[in-house]
């Protein structure tokens, strides 16, 4: 039996053992916490946020949330964030 055959035997023996050891790991107790109330932005706040991003040379991104108004689900703006532009060097 050559050296490589012996190494393959050990590898085939150890592979299932390591997978079995990983499967017995209990996942941590992690929960997702969200805000119960999301306050929407006014139109002037959204415009001000967009102009601030554009004056800084970044790309404005409006983050929205779903809210039910008069029985109809609509998107309302919650936050305006500034992301880098795709073409920085122009």
23 has pLDDT over 70: no
In-domain check, residue 6: no
Quote the CA–CA distance of 70 and 77 in Å, as a whole number.
Answer: 17
Rounded (5°) CA angle 68-38-61: 95
Burial of 79 (0-12, 13-18, 19+ CB in 10 A): middle
Q: Using the 8-state DSSP alphabet, how is residue 89 labeled?
A: -
In-domain check, residue 17: no
Does the pTM surpass 0.75? The reply is no
In-domain check, residue 85: yes
Number of domains in the chain: 1
In-domain check, residue 12: no
Quote the CA–CA distance of 46 and 53 in Å, as a whole number.
Answer: 11
Percentage of the chain beyond pLDDT 90 is 39
Q: Using the 8-state DSSP alphabet, how is residue 72 labeled?
A: E
In-domain check, residue 24: no
Structural domain containing residue 57: 37-90
In-domain check, residue 80: yes
In-domain check, residue 4: no
In-domain check, residue 84: yes
């Amino acid at each position: 039996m050559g050296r490589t055959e012996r190494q393959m035997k050990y590898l085939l023996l150890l592979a299932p053992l390591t997978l079995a050891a990983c499967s017995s790991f209990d996942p941590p107790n992690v929960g997702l916490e969200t805000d119960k109330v999301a306050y929407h932005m006014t139109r002037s706040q959204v415009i001000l946020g967009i102009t601030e991003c554009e004056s800084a040379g970044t790309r404005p991104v409006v983050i929205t949330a779903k809210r039910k108004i008069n029985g109809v689900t609509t998107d309302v703006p919650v936050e305006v964030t500034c992301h880098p532009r795709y073409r920085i060097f122009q």
